[in-house]
Amino acid sequence: MKLFVGLGNPGAKYAQNRHNIGFMAMDQIASDHGFAPFKGKFQGALTEGRLGREKVLLLKPETFMNLSGQSVGEAMRFYKLTSQDVVVFHDELDLAPGKLKYKMGGGHAGHNGLRSIHQHIGETYGRVRMGIGHPGRKELVSGYVLRDFAKADQDWLDDMLRGISDGAAHLAEGDTAKFSNAVAMRLNPPRPSTGTKGPKAGGTPAPAKAETAKPKAEGKPAPEEDSRSHLQKLMDKFS
């Protein structure tokens, strides 16, 4: 069993905030894969279902971001999971918008939700780092993450969430490379080839280019040259 945790803040006021991208990921997976409705449990909203061969719990802590670890720790202990069974989906300032990376373990990099989870379950858990970009200055971070995504972000945001859902079964089964590839296929789909292809083997060959030179006209042979003198011509005319 795996525990997927999406980070965010509860309530309609925060629903479209950049900080709530983790909640959005959980909602997308639950909707696409036929999970049961979320219900209140472990100081959060919880649902369960199957992704591929794995049974998976989806959790959205409702303790507010700074206390996320309370909900995660409670759920993990109830189901007798280890921290390595946990994957946390969160916003990442250090990645450009539309970029995503998976990471196992490491520091919290100042993210308050991860800081709280570190305190309750340690640091050995998976993270899906969902890039939202950086506002440029440290003092602008709080206002930036607590504002809604801009209209210009909607295309890449939708692609990222759909890609996460596409690859969720791979992630649940521990194949992080296939998971990352599924996301990349949504964010950067392969471009169709624009090259001109020749005829397939065994097919009908293309018609040859028409000759530009016209064939010689088949007319009567040219008359022989008249070698008579002018005087002879006059005499012959009146004879």
Residues designated as active site = 19
Tell me the CA distances in angstroms from 28 to 8, 21, 22, 69, 212, one per residue in order: 14, 11, 10, 22, 63
pLDDT tens readout for residues 15-65: 999 999 999 999 999 999 999 999 999 999 999 999 999 999 999 999 999
Cα–Cα distance, 107 to 114 (Å, whole number)? 8
Exposure class string for 28-63: b at 16+ Cβ within 10 A, else e? bbbeebebeebeeebbbbbbbeebeeeebbbbbbbb
Q: Is the pLDDT of residue 210 over 50?
A: no
pLDDT tens profile 125-174: 999 999 999 999 999 999 999 999 999 999 999 999 999 999 999 999 99
In terms of pTM, does the model score above 0.75? Answer: yes
Task: Report the distance separating Cα 58 and Cα 47, nearest Å.
Answer: 5
Backbone angles phi and psi of 123, in degrees to 5: -110, -5
Give dist(CA 59, CA 45) in Å, integer. Answer: 6
Q: Which structure tokens are listed for 135?
A: 């506002």
Q: Is the pLDDT of residue 230 over 70?
A: no
- Per the prediction, the chain carries an average pLDDT of 88
Q: What are the tens digits of pLDDT across the range 68-99? A: 999 999 999 999 999 999 999 999 999 999 99
- Walk me through the domains of the chain, giving residue ranges and CATH numbers: 2-187 (3.40.50.1470)
Question: Among 41-50, 136-145, 210-219, 227-236, where is mean pLDDT lowest?
Answer: 210-219
Name the nearest CA neighbour of 132 among 10, 16, 48, 13: 16
Q: What whole-number distance in Å separates Cα of residue 28 and Cα of residue 14?
A: 17
